[in-house]
Amino acid sequence: MRFRHRAAAGFATLLLPLAGLVGLASPAQAATNATATYTKTQDWGTGFGGQWTIKNTGSSSISSWTVEWDFPSGTSVTSAWDADVTNSGTHWTAKNKSYNGTLAPGASVSFGFNGAGSGSPSNCKLNGDSCDGTTVPGDAAPSAPGTPTASSVTDTSVKLSWSAATDDKGVKNYDVLRDGKVVSTVTGTSWTDSGLTAGTDYSYTVQARDTADQTGPVSGAVAVHTTGGTTDPPPTTGDKVKLGYFTEWGIYGRNYNVKNLVTSGSAAKITHINYAFGNVTNGQCAIGDSYADYDKAFTADQSVSGVADTWDQPLRGNFNQLRELKAKYPNIKVLWSFGGWTWSGGFAQAAANPAAFAQSCYNLVEDPRWADVFDGIDIDWEYPNACGLSCDTSGAAAFKNVMAALRAKFGSNNLVTAATTADGSAGGKIEAADYAGAAQYVDWYNVMTYDFFGAWDAKGPTAPHSPLTSYSGIPKAGFTTADAMAKFKAIGVPAKKLLIGIGFYGRGWTGVTQDAPGGTATGPAAGTYEQGIEDYKVLKTSCPATGTVAGTAYAHCGSNWWSYDTPSTIAGKMSWAKSQGLGGAFFWEFSGDTSNGELVSAISSGMS
């Protein structure tokens, strides 16, 4: 059972310090079937507070809103919340956040700001119409241009062409976006980008601007690989898979961003990343955390590119950071992993209609906003036809049927992989589902060869959570890496489709007096984020290893007893994996490693 408890992502709305906003009170205004009203909430002499309230007065839902108004010179917004507010001179624009754009009939939402000056708002528009609910003729935003096509690709340049957008008053020009950032504004429907890097992947989209300088929706994306260098350069670390999980919630309490893969040196030593997790609900693939995935704005010092995200760029969040990472390390492939321990219960409904499930996953992974980010899909169904967080009764064939449908939909040009149990016991979870039949549809299995033992058995016996082999006194036969791999190979799964799993954390007990495994305990040891579990980067100094057993390390310090892998034990496991002909290694997850990535380095050098 893999450790993964989603951190509670309570994130406060960020205040936007902008060069101006507010005015005085004034009843005001919105779009057809909606209204927007302005109220001055405070006045402290040198400044004031203001609030706009948008109300859906129609009979159908509104999916987004934009409020525009003018302030007289000398009146400005100094900070705002619950909306992204910008200005062009004295003209102000406020757009909804990702979490408050949808309004059901009769519903309302407000955003506020602090301001300076004494003016009142005027010329209010909501979604292009008057704020009092009347229509302003001929003031709609332009349509999306056609998806660009690429031609004349060289080592350093590419010509882009697209079909024109439409607008009731005419299109003034087009913004060309490379990897989500505007690189040029042109009047025609073609443009040549130059100064590129040979043998590098880029993604281009286009958006139109009308004569009122309103921008329309972004076009679909076209991926471009410049010539020269080497096509799809092979990883520098050999031909084995070296894959790490990146958790979407790690950007919160753990403060671990995609950029940390660069600063730690890990990005240069891996071949693949599994982005965890997408949700599985209502029989479909779904977004796990929209704010982390594609909305959070990263500052320049947090960004892979060193450039801060802007409020109006088409893609932000982890997805854009992964895009920037791939531009810097084009050999890395990224898969979107769906499920996990918490969300594996959703697979039962998905298995009832595998084709519909596969279609939903394809639509999400290949969404034009981020299709260039992902190279495939990973299914983390942790207990098919077995019990875990809940009990699944979908049948032994369900896993195979789901994987077959995913391969049929994603085709041969995308990776399709799955995380699997490592329960090699007689009658255990490997026997519960048709992993052998499904193997023909997957590129590999991430066999979760960790979390065999832990402080969910509060009184012990103490045991290493990731034993490579069996040992005298092991609490349950078959709960080892070697047993799991042997069982998979025995049922016909090719060794090259099996990856060994490494946990970048330890599991531990407290109330332990015995140094060797097998001691009694009184409960789980204290951990930073959860009892009974702690990152390697903490344990290596707080409770250094005092011995090894079954190819992994353990540590007895005070009354605590921990087991975890070290660079030395990882080296031994990598050697064993190569001797077994396995396809590579993977680990859970990046943020448990040291700031210089010493565990990733051990996997990379050991698997080369």
Express as a percent the part of the chain with pLDDT over 70.
92
Catalytically active residues, by annotation = 382
Q: Is residue 303 domain-shared with residue 372, that is, in the same domain? A: yes
Read off the amino acid at residue 249: W
Q: Is residue 207 domain-shared with residue 251, that is, in the same domain? A: no
Tokens of residue 386, six digits: 């077995």
Q: How confident is the model at residue 134 (pLDDT cuts 50, 70, 90)?
A: low
Q: Is residue 220 domain-shared with residue 253, that is, in the same domain? A: no
Q: Is residue 159 domain-shared with residue 264, that is, in the same domain? A: no
Q: What is the pLDDT of residues 85-97, one digit of tens each?
A: 998 888 889 999 8
Please state whether the predicted TM-score (pTM) of the whole model is above 0.75: no
The CATH number covering residue 420 comes to 3.20.20.80
Please tell me the predicted confidence (pLDDT) of residue 244: 98
**Lowest mean pLDDT: which of 384-388, 566-570, 593-597?**
384-388
Whether residue 262 is predicted with pLDDT greater than 90 in this model: the reply is yes
Express as a percent the part of the chain with pLDDT over 90.
62
Asked whether residue 308 is domain-assigned, the answer is yes
What one-character DSSP code corresponds to residue 211? T
Q: Is residue 195 domain-shared with residue 248, that is, in the same domain? A: no
93 in Cβ contact with 70 (< 8 Å): no
Cα–Cα distance, 167 to 257 (Å, whole number): 40
Asked whether residue 24 is domain-assigned, the answer is no
Cα–Cα distance, 338 to 364 (Å, whole number): 11
Q: What is the pLDDT of residues 202-234, one digit of tens each?
A: 888 888 888 777 778 888 888 888 887 643 343
Give phi and psi for 93, each to the nearest 5.
-135, 130
144 in Cβ contact with 188 (< 8 Å): no
Q: How confident is the model at residue 278 (pLDDT cuts 50, 70, 90)?
A: very high
Cα–Cα distance, 374 to 507 (Å, whole number): 32
Q: What is the pLDDT of residues 441-473, one digit of tens each?
A: 999 999 999 999 999 999 999 999 999 999 999
Asked whether residue 186 is domain-assigned, the answer is yes
- Final residue of a structural domain among 196, 225, 254: 225
Asked whether residue 599 is domain-assigned, the answer is yes
Asked whether residue 358 is domain-assigned, the answer is yes
What are the residues whose beta carbons fall under 8 Å from the beta carbon of 206, sequence distance 6 or more?
Answer: 145, 148, 160, 162, 174, 175, 176, 177, 218, 219
Q: Is residue 368 domain-shared with residue 247, that is, in the same domain? A: yes
Neighbours of 357 (CB within 10 A): 27
Domain with 444, as residue range(s), is 242-504+566-607
Q: Is residue 221 domain-shared with residue 246, that is, in the same domain? A: no
Read off the amino acid at residue 110: S
Cα–Cα distance, 201 to 226 (Å, whole number): 7
Q: What is the pLDDT of residues 177-189, one digit of tens each?
A: 888 788 898 999 9
The CATH number covering residue 99 comes to 2.60.40.290
Q: Is residue 421 domain-shared with residue 453, that is, in the same domain? A: yes
Please tell me the predicted confidence (pLDDT) of residue 19: 30
Whether residue 136 is predicted with pLDDT greater than 60 in this model: the reply is no
What stretches of 459-566 show up as alpha helix (H) in DSSP? 481-490, 536-542
Mean pLDDT across 430-449: 95
Based on the structure, what is the number of domains in the chain? 3
The CATH number covering residue 220 comes to 2.60.40.10
> According to the per-residue pLDDT averaged within each range, which of 9-18, 207-216, 389-398 is highest?
389-398
Q: What is the pLDDT of residues 92-131, one digit of tens each?
A: 899 998 888 888 888 889 998 888 887 788 889 998 888 8
Please tell me the predicted confidence (pLDDT) of residue 135: 54
Residue with tokens 């290949």: 366
Cis? peptide before 461, omega within 30° of 0: yes
Asked whether residue 9 is domain-assigned, the answer is no
Tokens of residue 91, six digits: 């003209």
Q: Is residue 435 domain-shared with residue 318, that is, in the same domain? A: yes
What's the whole-number average pLDDT of the chain?
A: 88
Q: How far from 601 is each of 325, 335, 594, CA to CA, in Å?
A: 18, 21, 10
Q: Is residue 432 domain-shared with residue 478, that is, in the same domain? A: yes
Q: What is the pLDDT of residues 312-347, one digit of tens each?
A: 899 999 999 999 999 999 999 999 999 998 898 999
Residue with tokens 């049948």: 395
Tokens of residue 337, six digits: 């992993």
Whether residue 16 is predicted with pLDDT greater than 50 in this model: the reply is no
Cα–Cα distance, 176 to 550 (Å, whole number): 57
Whether residue 546 is predicted with pLDDT greater than 90 in this model: the reply is yes
Cα–Cα distance, 532 to 198 (Å, whole number): 49
Outline where DSSP puts E strands in 340-435.
376-380, 415-420
Q: What is the pLDDT of residues 404-428, one digit of tens each?
A: 999 999 999 999 999 999 999 999 9
Asked whether residue 525 is domain-assigned, the answer is no
Q: Is residue 126 domain-shared with residue 176, that is, in the same domain? A: no
Whether residue 20 is predicted with pLDDT greater than 50 in this model: the reply is no
* Pairing of the two strands 505-510 and 523-524: antiparallel
Residues facing 308 on adjacent strands: none
- Final residue of a structural domain among 172, 190, 225: 225
Mean pLDDT across 542-566: 97
Q: Is residue 363 domain-shared with residue 472, that is, in the same domain? A: yes
- Final residue of a structural domain among 103, 130, 157: 130
- Taking alpha carbons only, the member of 296, 255, 254, 289 closest to residue 275 is 289
Whether residue 531 is predicted with pLDDT greater than 50 in this model: the reply is yes
Asked whether residue 559 is domain-assigned, the answer is no
* Pairing of the two strands 547-549 and 181-186: unpaired
